[in-house]
Amino acid sequence: MHRSFCLLALAAVVFGAELPLNTWIELRKDPVGARPGSAIRYAAEARAFFLWGFLNADPNLLQEQPLMQVPEYDVVAFDPDDGRWRGQREKFYPAYIPRTYSGKTTGSEQTVMRGTTNDAGGVPRPDLNIVFDQVAYHPGSQSLIYFTGGLTAAYDVVRRRWRDLAPAGSPPPVVGGSLAYDPVNDQIVLFGGGHAAERAPDGRLVGYTGLWVYRVKANEWRPRPGLAGPLPRMNSRLVTDTKNEALVLFGGDGQSRYLADTWIFDLKTQNWRQSKAAGGPEARAGHFTVYDPQTGWVLVGGGYNQKDLSDMWAYDVREDRWRRLHGEVPTGFYLSADLAPEKRLLVLVTSTRTPGDRMTCNVLYPVRTTYGYRLGDGIVAGDQGSGTGAAMPKLVREQRAGSGKPETVGVVNQWVKLAGQTLTRTWGSATLDNRRDRILYWGGGHCGYEGNDIDAYDIETQTWTSAETGGEYTERLWDHGVRPAGVTFEGGPWTDHGRKTYAYDPVSQKMILAHPIRLTTGYDPEALLLFPARRTMAPDAVVTTPTSYVRYSTWSYDPETRRWELLGPAPAGVDALVTTPRGVMGVNADWPARLNDPGYQLPWNPAKPEDTAIYLFDAGRRVWNRMGDRQTSPQNLYEMTSLAYDSKRDRVILHGGGARRDELWTFDMATRRWAQLQPQGAAPACAREAVYIPKEDVFLSYGPALWAYKVSENAWRQGGAAPPMPAGQNRAMVYDEKRDLVLLVLGAGGDYGKASVYAMRYQK
């Protein structure tokens, strides 16, 4: 309470007198109300800055409460005369918070206008969603036009009311793009954004779209195909230069790299041209971009690349020139700014950490911190700068030679640490490329590495190899586990928990991945229509129409070219894969189906058996073939289900299922039948990582401890080598039959830790 009083007093003092020129001043801190992923906009008719959008940074908005009254999370307005944020006083229809991990909204969830004026005291408004810069002010209607989650909506800044525009047609529900008003043609222009699944001109499926325009009077969206222009990007604002009748764009997130190019869209010719200015800002994303009509400059500041940035710049379209400006832009997890031109006032909002918060994974800070900057004479700090317009890789990998000790073969029943380390891939498994003698390692999430590239460990030379600049990455908001949608700009899969979702295919000599593509409800890309879809909600869901859904997909990764390819559909629910001589086989463990609406496990109902099946992937025809008919099969499978191939008997061993998930099943390739084994001794619960060792005729499981199932004796035994370190989720295990080595990839922790390889020759 004391701090709030001081901040309000500070705001009164600041706005009672003029702010100092060309200096950022903190105006206030609100303990909650930050809007990571949302844009602030100024409306002259209302003489206020407006902020709308949502990502669950408020600890009181629990995932278990999908419908709630959250008035502060509708539009709030900042009055520059008294320095306060004010919400609306009406009773709102309860807001719907999409069911995503930890209650976070992804921006790819469908946005629905809920509530009508006929509701008792209810005021209609859209679902809360991430907006990024997909909002522009339309002076003619005195409205902010939003495009988010597939919804095109208008917010009247004077009447403070929402309206679903329901236009003819719609762009793909991209996120991270930008809207700008075109006063020459009275239309709204959309450019940028990703997390879609669209056909490129060459036929590939890619995660972006081109330029679209919303014709306000006609109330329709239209694409503008065939325009040569900027590369795809996210998180960069497109602004209107009214003096030069142009739209201006700088930098952005290219998913594999940060961009530093400047583009101008001529509103009369409706064509792009690229700036040839020397110098300028370095590559970045997440920066603010505003237009100052008095100087005719486009102002750019802050953002991030491999670090947070605090510099400010001005770009002059007429002169095609960059200038460095005075002022150190405040840093925060996410920032947005806009300009009140008649006051010469920039207002910036960012999200910052709660005092005392020392979490390293939760970066969705709830504190809303507001800053002001008054433009004045003497703002130019220097010349054009030393920027080159060059893109910057998101991550530069260290390439280190291995120890070169091929004679190191491991010690019997003792783990030996091999040379080399790579980034930890949390919840990731691994697979063995036995043609190239490499471990292929992919996965991420939960504060782990987020690139979709693959690390390969050469067993002979004990060397990790990877693409020097990494793969494609989600925008900053998804760095710590929120599920992304669509495909990447290059048409690859987004990184997710690897678990057992991939395996090496000796037939095609590529890695096969079963990885669903998440899409916004209402968005059905033509290229994916034949892919099986899941559109159902959990049985306890309050809102029964899902805001997003998945289509089950099969991918390949070529270790030689390091390229992903979407091969085609996958059977619904297949998410546990294993390598066999015939090719990759998969089981529909379908562990997400075991969760209720808030994300907790549902109780198992054995009275409703499921059809657990095994499928064989035909690499030549790119199809999955079911092995066997519906029959008694393993039940209650979950994410720790283990699979291994028994080469002596030509069968797959499955560990998991049952009430304790400790059952052991086999699928015989000759009879195509499931059989439940009844081993002697206490049985461990499945632990995800398992291998079969033919020399010892042992199924080896690695989790909190090492367990061995001796097939010929039909008995479980605990024992063998103690784990090199506590077995968390950063673990993966493969078996190299050529060297008779069990190989473990173990990460020291999450949050970009390092993973090492351990080898052991197992004997029982």
Q: How far apart are CA 144 and CA 50, in angstroms?
A: 9
- Give the type of residue at 153: A
Q: How far apart are CA 82 and CA 80, in angstroms?
A: 6
Q: How far apart are CA 54 and CA 65, in angstroms?
A: 16
Burial 400-438 (b: 16+ CB within 10 A, else e): eebeeeeebebeeeebbebbbbbbbbbbbbbbbbbeebb
DSSP character string of 351-370? EEPPTT---SS-----EEEE
Determine contact, residues 27/47, Cβ cutoff 8 Å. Answer: no
Reported as a single tens digit per residue, the pLDDT across 121-141 is 567 888 888 899 999 999 999
Cα 109-219-525 angle, rounded to 5 deg: 40
Instruction: Please provide the distance, in angstroms rounded to a whole number, between the alpha carbons at the two ends of the chain.
Output: 66
The Cβ-side half-sphere exposure at 387, using a 13 Å CA radius, reads 31
Strands 706-710 and 754-760: unpaired
Name the residue with higher pLDDT: 322 or 541.
322
Tell me: pLDDT of 479 over 70: no
Reported as a single tens digit per residue, the pLDDT across 579-607 is 999 999 999 999 999 988 777 899 999 99
What share of the chain in percent tops pLDDT 90? Answer: 69
pLDDT recorded at residue 324? 95
Mapping DSSP onto H, E and C, the string for 706-735 reads EEEEECCCCEEEECCCCCCCCCCCCEEEEE
Provide the token pair at 155.
């917010």
Q: How far apart are CA 419 and CA 200, in angstroms?
A: 42
Tell me: pLDDT of 519 over 60: yes
Provide the token pair at 82.
């008294």
DSSP state of 139: G
Q: How far apart are CA 552 and CA 528, in angstroms?
A: 9
pLDDT recorded at residue 266? 98
224-to-190, 212, 214, 271, 581 alpha-carbon distances in Å: 10, 6, 11, 10, 49
What share of the chain in percent tops pLDDT 70? Answer: 89
Contacts of 226 (CB under 8 A, 6+ apart): none
Tell me: pLDDT of 5 over 50: no
Beta-bridge mates of residue 761: 412
Strands 257-266 and 246-253: antiparallel
- Evaluate the CA torsion angle 191, 141, 73, 535 in order and state its sign: negative
Q: How far apart are CA 141 and CA 152, in angstroms?
A: 15
* Count of C-beta atoms within a 10 Å radius of residue 342: 11
Query: Considering the chain, what is the average pLDDT of its residues?
Result: 89
pLDDT recorded at residue 384? 67
Tell me: pLDDT of 249 over 90: yes
Determine contact, residues 686/659, Cβ cutoff 8 Å. Answer: no
Determine contact, residues 597/544, Cβ cutoff 8 Å. Answer: no
pLDDT recorded at residue 33? 86
Tell me: pLDDT of 8 over 50: no
Contacts of 539 (CB under 8 A, 6+ apart): 596, 602
Q: How does residue 738 score in pLDDT terms, banded at 50, 70 and 90? A: very high
| Arithmetic mean of pLDDT, 714-741 | 88
pLDDT recorded at residue 35? 86
pLDDT recorded at residue 729? 83
Q: How does residue 12 score in pLDDT terms, banded at 50, 70 and 90? A: very low
Q: How does residue 523 score in pLDDT terms, banded at 50, 70 and 90? A: very high
Reported as a single tens digit per residue, the pLDDT across 400-454 is 555 555 455 668 999 999 999 988 888 889 999 999 999 999 998 777 788 899 9
- The alpha carbon of residue 569 and the mean position of all alpha carbons in its chain are separated, in whole angstroms, by 22
Contacts of 429 (CB under 8 A, 6+ apart): 443, 498, 499, 500, 501, 502, 688, 689, 732
> 633 in helix, strand or coil?
coil
Name the residue with higher pLDDT: 698 or 98.
698
| Arithmetic mean of pLDDT, 294-307 | 96
Nearest to 398 by CA among 317, 344, 354, 463: 463
Residue 143 dihedral angles phi and psi, to the nearest 5°: -135, 150
Q: How far apart are CA 445 and CA 448, in angstroms?
A: 5
Tell me: pLDDT of 55 over 80: no
Determine contact, residues 679/712, Cβ cutoff 8 Å. Answer: no
Q: Which residue has the tokens 């025809």?
A: 621
pTM of this structure: 0.94
Question: Which of 70-74, 132-136, 166-170 has the least mean pLDDT?
Answer: 70-74
pLDDT recorded at residue 16? 38
Beta-bridge mates of residue 693: 698
Tell me: pLDDT of 500 over 50: yes
392-to-334, 388, 456 alpha-carbon distances in Å: 20, 11, 24
* Count of C-beta atoms within a 10 Å radius of residue 317: 22
DSSP character string of 476-541? GGGTTSPPP-S--TTSPPPP---TT-EEEETTTTEEEEE-PEEEETT---GGGTTS-EE----TT-
Nearest to 707 by CA among 644, 633, 749: 644
